[in-house]
Structure 1
Amino acid sequence: MDLGISNKVALVTGAGGGLGGAIALALAREGAKVVLADINSAALESVADSVRKAGSEALCLEWNLGDLSVIDTRIGAIEARFGGVDILVNNTGGPPPTPASGQTADLWEKHFRSMVLSVIGITDRALPGMRVKRWGRVVTSASSGVVAPIPGLAISNALRMSLVGWSKTLAKEVGRDGITANLVVPGRIGTDRIRFLDEAKARREGRSVEEVSAESTGSIPLGRYGRPEEYAHAVTFLASEAASYVTGSVMRVDGGLIASV
């Protein structure tokens, strides 16, 4: 299937991580020009090398999403190089495991800026260019915690939940402009983040990481953690011309983990 995104310009935030890097590579393989944004410049260069080997152009932008003051200049650099953003993949890092109570206001505010306000600000800055072209894709990566809150991940559950309401509202506002907005929910995808969470849970409960991972895997109908490229394929579909009639949706990529309909 031709996904119709050859030569489209895709901005992927958090592109130095497991999910972001896989998404960037999947988009590149479909012919998109990929802008890679991450706070880790070394990780960016590694992903950019893979993107170029796939035959696509890559632009690396070192970007701390918590610094909202740089949004305009970063998008401006993309416009100067490629003429604007056609596909925006909002992918942010996760906060540390915490209970719901007893967290400082500073901690909540820090992660609200990097996980929510950055997504809103970057999208707002990219939308005018999409409207001019009457074509655009906004795909926001969240967490299975927005459907079934995950114990011990209170900040993630709460902040990512706010993006569900934002994305759904946005979809209605921009649909007549040829722009879609969708949210993707990963389950247990085998990345460094999931390994970190398994290790943290093992320490809290005095168990081995292997025991925790086995228990988690046992709750997944497919019997395994997902692969980053499997998640990336779903995101790439939503970013494509083939998904032109899909908007305002929440797509689960979780191996059947979430029990609710």
Structure 2
Amino acid sequence: MDLKLERKNALILASSQGLGKAIAAELVKEGANVMLASRDEQKLAAVQKELSPLGAGKVGYVVADITNAEAIKSLVSQTALEFGGIDILINNAGGPPGGSFTDFNDEDWQQSFELNLLSFIRTIRESLPHLKKQGGKIVNIASSSIKEPIPGLILSNTFRTAIVGLSKTLASELAPDKILINTVGPGRIATDRIQHLDKMNADKLGVTQEKITEQSIGKIPLGRYGEPEEFAKFVTFLVSGANTYLTGQSYLVDGGLVKSI
């Protein structure tokens, strides 16, 4: 299948590690130009060096704090200037801290709102003039909590679900401009985030992290955590030329973990 990604220009947030990095790698392999973005320049430079030999496209990076409106404006403008446009936007952000409702104050809620929802809104808004030129693709990375709330992750449950409402509404508004937008939620994918959550739960229950991981895997029909590359391949399809009719949808890449219909 020809994914028609050669010379397409992609901006990927939170792409110095984890799922963002894995998506960047797949797009580079398909010949796309990829702009990496995160707050850690050292990691970004290392990832740029690692990914550049994988394909014919350019790999650049911009250091950006996506909770800052001006930083997002600069990130989008630099991407469009360097690549000559933006065809693909992948919104992504690190997960907010775990805890219950009584653990968080107004500042905690505000910080999570700015990181996990407002950053997506701002980046879409800034990217639209570029995406509208020839049509484009947007994927918002969320969580399996968009289908089933995860205990102990109330901040994530709240704002990840809001992303679905945003995406579903924009699917109709952006369709006349030939822009497709979808939401993808990872299940238990083997990233640093999942390692952190397993350790948090282990500490809370007074058991080993290995025990928590074993219990989590036992709930997954496929019997293992997913690999970042598996998640990335699905996102790559959604933003590719092979996807011409899927928009406004929410998908899980979770090995069958979530039982909701």
TM-score by length of 1: 0.98
> 1 CA distance for matches of 2:28 and 2:103?
43
Cα deviation code 1:218-257 (max 9, x no counterpart): 0000000000000000100000111110000111100000
Whether contact under 8 Å (2:184, 2:250) holds in the other structure is yes
User: What is the CA deviation profile of residues 45-99 of structure 1, one whole-angstrom value per residue up to 9, with x for unaligned ones?
Assistant: 2221222111231111111111122222221111211122110000110011110
Report deviation, 1:197.
0.4
Shift of 1:102: 4.2
Distance 1:234 1:119 in 2: 20
Q: Cα deviations across residues 100-132 of structure 1 (Å, max 9, x unaligned)?
A: 234110111011111111101011111111112
1:91-240 matches, within 5 Å, as 91-133=92-134, 135-240=135-240
Alignment size in residue pairs: 260
The aligned residue for residue 58 of structure 2 is 57
Where does the alignment leave 5 or more consecutive residues of structure 1 unmatched?
none
**Aligned partner letter, 1:41:** E
* One-letter amino acid of the structure 2 residue matched with residue 232 of structure 1: A
For 2:87, the equivalent position in structure 1 comes to: 86
Aligned to 1:39: 39
In structure 2, what residue type is equivalent to 1:198? Answer: D
What is the distance in 2 between the residues matched to 1:51 and 1:6? 15
Q: Distance in 2 between matches of 1:211 and 1:115?
A: 30
AA of the residue aligned to 1:140: N
Measure how far apart 1:18 and its partner are: 0.9
The reply on whether 1:67 has 2:68 as its aligned counterpart is: yes
Determine the structure 1 residue equivalent to 2:248: 248
- TM-score after normalising by structure 2: 0.98
SS at the partner of 1:140?
A: strand
CA separation in 2, counterparts of 1:191 and 1:19?
7
- Give 3-state SS (helix, strand or coil) of 1:74's partner: helix
- State the AA in 2 paired with 1:226: G
- Tell me the distance in 2 between the aligned counterparts of 1:108 and 1:17: 25
Answering whether residue 12 of structure 2 is matched by residue 12 of structure 1, we say: yes
Would you say the 8 A contact 1:75–1:84 is kept in 2? no
Stretch deviating more after TM superposition (68-77 or 88-97): 68-77
**Identical-residue share of aligned pairs (%):** 42
**CA separation in 2, counterparts of 1:13 and 1:112?**
16
Which residue is equivalent to 2:259? Answer: 259
Spell out structure 1 runs of 4+ moving beyond 2 A. Answer: none
Structure 2 gaps, min length 5: none
Q: How far, CA to CA, are the matches of 1:151 and 1:123 in structure 2? A: 30
Looking at structure 2, the residues matched to 41 and 103 of structure 1 have their Cα atoms a distance apart, in angstroms, of 30
The secondary structure found in structure 2 opposite 1:61 is strand
Residue pair 2:65, 2:72 contacting (<8 A) in 1 also: no
Measure how far apart 1:149 and its partner are: 0.4
CA distance in 2, matches of 1:79, 1:246: 25
Does structure 2 conserve the Cα–Cα contact (< 8 Å) formed by 1:51 and 1:57? no
* Separation of aligned partners in 2, 1:168 and 1:64: 26
Deviations 1:144-188 (A, max 9, x none): 111110000000100111100000000111112111000001000
